[in-house]
Structure 1
Amino acid sequence: MLAVSATTALAQSALPSCYEYAKLPAANLASNTELFVVIDQTTPLDASLQQSVANNMKPFLEAGNTFSVMQFSAFTQGHYTDVLTNATLDHALEADARKDIGKNQLAKFDQCMAIQSPNAAKLAGAALRKAFSGTSSDVAKSDVLGSLKDISNKIKQSSAKQKVVLLASDMLENSSISSFYAKQAVRQIDPQKELKLVADNQLFADFGGAKVYVIGAGLLTADASKPKGVYRDPKTMAALQQFWRTYFEKSNAKLVEFGQPALLNPLR
């Protein structure tokens, strides 16, 4: 009865509360960590990078945490930011509190908690599959800056003790504001000039002190058709990273790792 299918859970965008199921008073505790997985649908990831996103989510699917899976694309072509799922895993009962609860209620609570993490994994997996299946390199524009400002509003509102963002994107803006492309390659940008454009267009955000990890930076669709990939000039990628590092600093966030395209370290 407690098991939640991926389809049903995704529609409800939440996990059943074990406290409600066992008819116990709500814990009313802030989440330890809230993980926001953000998928840029203009950046197709190969199977390895998709698996990396999933693998990095797994450690966060534990009691006391919250997670969201979100996707974004280009505003100009009918695509918009969408929250595919978000769910909170209940805090475990303190040892002292367990002594004051009847056996039947305690058994129901423990039964629920035992399957909450597996159900969270089903939720996350269904959302990631939906997001990845909708990615396409055919979208002509990529409103990364506008989308991130939109997404930051949700992240800022989180009451979690720690906020972590896993951003799967090539991080290549291509909008009416600016374009980071040049002849199907990454353009070497001037970080300071681009940051001025961001300021002039009021596109700095507020991520509420979140830690940010990027996977897929500088990734081009041509990569998939070339066994050795596409050469990215180190200076070009360094400029891209510097732009985003400063952007996040000015947007109340810390860029912990800039995967080009893969992450070298797990999320923390």
Structure 2
Amino acid sequence: MDKRLFTLVGALMLLALGVPQSHAGLVNDIPSCYAASHFTFSSPPPDRLLYVLIDQATPLSPALQKSVVDNINHALGPATKFVIAEFSRTSNNHYLQVLHTGIIESPMTSSERNNVPVNALGGFDNCMRDQAFFAIHMADTTAQQILQSA
């Protein structure tokens, strides 16, 4: 089996097993708009899960680095959980390190909006917009830092 494929499979297995060092999925680095608004209900679980695993041992050209970031931007949206991690297939003791995990929450349903005071909706809508920008900026910046240090 190709060593790169073996390393990628190993990294994915570590994520699936929930290795304690990685804390994958345990921490949401994106503040919740539902919690900030003190609603009695919360966003439903994310519909999509995006893992971005970057191998430190594989330097990419600037064009490929831009492509990675563009694809992250395209994939992130409402109801998405994401994990940004780095690893090195050639370096000893450089195991998978999860740098950021976040959830971009789903917007409220129309029935939920109908049960919320109008004065709370403006702040919530602004928070949801800012949450998406914050998450995309965090994912982009983290991916760019990893890619440039490879």
Secondary structure of residue in 1 paired with 2:101: strand
d(CA) in 2 for partners of 1:77, 1:44? 18
Name which one, 1 or 2, has greater alpha-carbon Rg. 1
CA apart distance, 1:104:
2.4
For these two proteins, the number of residue pairs brought into alignment is 124
Q: 1:98: Cα distance to partner?
A: 0.5
Q: 1:16 aligns with which of 8, 24, 31?
A: 31
Cα distance, 1:70–1:26 mapped onto 2, change above 3 Å: farther
Following superposition, which runs of at least 4 residues in structure 1 exceed 3 angstroms of deviation? none
* Contact kept in structure 1, 2:69 and 2:144, CA below 8 Å: no
Instruction: Name which structure has the greater RCO, CA cutoff 8 Å, separation 6+.
Output: 2
Give the aligned partner of residue 49 of structure 2: 34
The residue identity in structure 2 corresponding to 1:118 is F
Alpha-carbon RMSD: 1.8
Change (3 A) 1:101 1:121: same
Tell whether 2:72 aligns with 1:52: no
Per the normalisation by structure 1, the TM-score is 0.44
Matches within 5 A, 1:2-151: 14-27=29-42, 29-74=44-89, 77-135=92-150
> 1:57 is paired with a residue of what secondary structure?
helix
CA, structure 1 residues 56+123, in 2 after alignment: closer, same or farther (shift >3 Å)? same
Unmatched runs of 5 consecutive residues or more in structure 2: 1-26
Per-residue deviation, 1:75: 7.2
> Normalising by the residue count of structure 2, what TM-score does the alignment of the two structures yield?
0.75
Using the aligned pairs only, state the percent identity: 28
Structure with bigger helix share is 2
Once the two structures are superposed, residues 47-106 of structure 1 have per-residue CA deviations (whole angstroms, 9 ceiling, x without a partner) of: 111111111111222111111111111475231110111100111000111111012221
